[in-house]
Amino acid sequence: MYRNLLSASLALAFFVIVHTAIVPSPLNGKLHLSPNSLSLQVPFGYIISGYNEMPHHRRTPFAVAPNGNSYVAYLAASGDYVHVQQLDKNLTAVGTEVKVRGYEASGLVAHNDGFALLTSQNASTPNGETVATLVRVKGAAVAWTVPLNGPNFYDKGTGGTSSPVLDGDLAWNGEYYGAYFIVHGYAGGANGHYGDSIEYVDANGKVFESPYSNAWGCSHNEGIAIMQTNTLPFLTLCSNDWHTGIFLNTDTRSMSGPKISNDQTWAGYGGDPFGGEGGSFSNVAAFANGRYIVAWQTRGASKVVTDSGDSTVLDVTARWDVHNVAIAILKDKSTPLTTVPTKSGGAGDTNINWVTKTAIVDHVNVRVAAYGANQAVVTWEQVTSPKCNAGTCTGKFEATYIQLVDSNGAKVGTPLKTPATIGGDMRVMANGDIVWPYVDTKWDLSASIWDPSQIRTSKLSFARLSVA
């Protein structure tokens, strides 16, 4: 009898295990790819070298207007103009591309009558570097241009800043644009150092000189996320290579506030939590119930101790050589459901909500987007047989994974796999579908790449994840 019961139990357990393993993703059949559907006016260099010269996607900003039309932007391979193409509801080109003088394609906001672009332009800075610039285009003409740092900007911070690298993003709440971007000090106490700036601009191109702005906030910034909210300040997060982790700095605009991740860092390295070079987009999304979700890549924190030279800093020991996928749920724009330990001693990742948790597979290019009212999709590139050194890993790109989660952070079903990558903003269309641009190529993460400038394309592709 006991043998029969044992056999029945084992059979049931086997059935449950097998049944669980073969359950399809709830997203199965909902991803639709349109490879090479948009012809570009000029070539686009779609790879940018990241930390340790690892290949990253050069961002193709994508935004949806209230009327359902959208815009996609890309930096010309020549490096001196950003091209912006209007698209209809079917992602078909409308008219010709608009050229905007600029050296990076960063944040993009779509309007019914045009768009706003965060880019970099020349501004006669003492160090010869470019400055962050917000450009508003109506129709095909520039309506106004406003610099957000540099010698003519009202707030010099700790001495004046430029933006030779414009990792950052742009958001709009119907009244103000919020721009969050990396800066480089050229005078005063910040001379030679990197930090970040948050600036707000109204619909007429006037900079809003407010307590919610900060010309020098999260010093040594290695990752930025910003999302519009009904009132100022917007939701913001920063990662840095000094205070070793990610802060929800909505209310502080500095390296303080609730901490959602502890990460091992060193000078110039923060773990690329929000995508590193070419990143800082689609890392935070809103649920209809008022909550938010943040997604990032991290090597974990097996131990944290107070730094011997700075008692405000934690030294972190990474748990793995590879990166895993983590998410945090926020109650509101200022309050996470959980925070990570910030006291010396013990592990520093005990409260992390892991989407993946393994020591033998790397996970990079983590993104998130709202899916329906109170769900979201978390995406990442999975890299098998990783060989890791100095914070990054080479290996075989297996696929992009798309995992559905709920507003409590619980995974819903198994992830969907696709060969398509995510090289631009994941945006929610009028009908709730998620759309993003990508380049139809065989993505290769097997080696670093020193000079990707000659790797170009004349086509863009689009992916659509339907909600129905």
> One digit per residue, pLDDT tens: the chain, 468 residues?
433 434 444 444 433 333 345 568 999 999 999 999 999 999 999 999 999 999 999 999 999 999 999 999 999 999 999 999 999 999 999 999 999 999 999 999 999 999 999 999 999 999 999 999 999 999 999 999 999 999 999 998 889 999 999 999 999 999 999 999 999 999 998 999 999 999 999 999 999 999 999 999 998 888 899 999 999 999 999 998 888 999 999 999 999 999 999 999 999 899 999 999 989 999 999 999 999 999 999 999 999 999 999 998 999 999 999 999 999 999 999 999 999 999 999 999 999 999 999 999 999 999 999 999 999 999 999 999 999 999 999 999 999 999 999 999 999 999 999 999 999 999 999 999 999 999 999 999 999 999 999 999 999 999 999 999
Task: Give the predicted TM-score (pTM) of the model.
Answer: 0.94
What pLDDT sits at residue 15?
A: 37
Please give the domain boundaries of the chain with CATH numbers for all domains: 27-465 (2.130.10.10)
Give the residues across from 401 on adjacent strands.
380, 417
Going from the C-alpha of 197 to that of each of 147, 178, 226, 348, the distances in angstroms are 12, 10, 12, 28
Give the span between the Cα atoms of 425 and 415, in whole angstroms: 20
Query: Which pLDDT score is estimated for 16?
Result: 39
Q: Which two tokens stand for residue 42?
A: 């000029």
Q: What pLDDT was estimated at residue 10? A: 42
b vs e for 414-423, b when ≥16 Cβ sit within 10 Å of the residue's Cβ?
Answer: bbbebebbbb
Cβ pair 57, 443 in contact under 8 A: no
Q: What pLDDT, on the 0 to 100 scale, is given for residue 48?
A: 97
User: So what's the pLDDT on residue 142?
Assistant: 99
Neighbours of 315 (CB within 10 A): 18
| pLDDT at res. 219 | 85
